[in-house]
Amino acid sequence: AQSVTQLGSHVSVSEGALVLLRCNYSSSVPPYLFWYVQYPNQGLQLLLKYTSAATLVKGINGFEAEFKKSETSFHLTKPSAHMSDAAEYFCAVSFPNDKIIFGKGTRLHILP
């Protein structure tokens, strides 16, 4: 069965600094991988997805993630954090036409 592990339930970065949110997956075969963002009291917005095409995936709001099979990782990065990036971020795994399994989430705090 597939699963995802997000390292760090809370991450704080200064405004303008690099954002790095870590995600490792477990799956017997390469799955589809996603990052979702959830702002307070709002729904889930898809940031980006990996579906076995390019290993470096660019998403919305300047975020990108790199699929590394050897490390079973799919870390999310953004070169320069903005205050508006403060939110909960979920890494998720799925197979085609199947349910999504979410990680526990990482709350990103942006320090002024």
Partner 1 sequence: AAGVIQSPRHLIKEKRETATLKCYPIPRHDTVYWYQQGPGQDPQFLISFYEKMQSDKGSIPDRFSAQQFSDYHSELNMSSLELGDSALYFCASSPALLARDSQGVTDTQYFGPGTRLTVL
Contact 55, 70 (CB under 8 A): no
Q: According to CB under 8 A, which residues from 18 to 57 bind partner 1?
A: 32, 36, 41-46, 49, 51, 53
- The one-letter amino acid code at 47 reads L
CB nearer partner 1, residue 17 or residue 100: 100
Q: Does 98 bind partner 1 (CB under 8 A)?
A: yes
Instruction: At 11, list the tokens.
Output: 């991450």
Q: What share of the chain is helix, strand, coil (3-state, %, to 5)?
A: 5, 55, 40
Q: How far is the CB of 92 from partner 1 (least distance, A)?
A: 9
**Under the rule (CB under 8 A), what is the footprint of partner 1?**
32, 36, 41-46, 49, 51, 53, 90, 94, 96-105
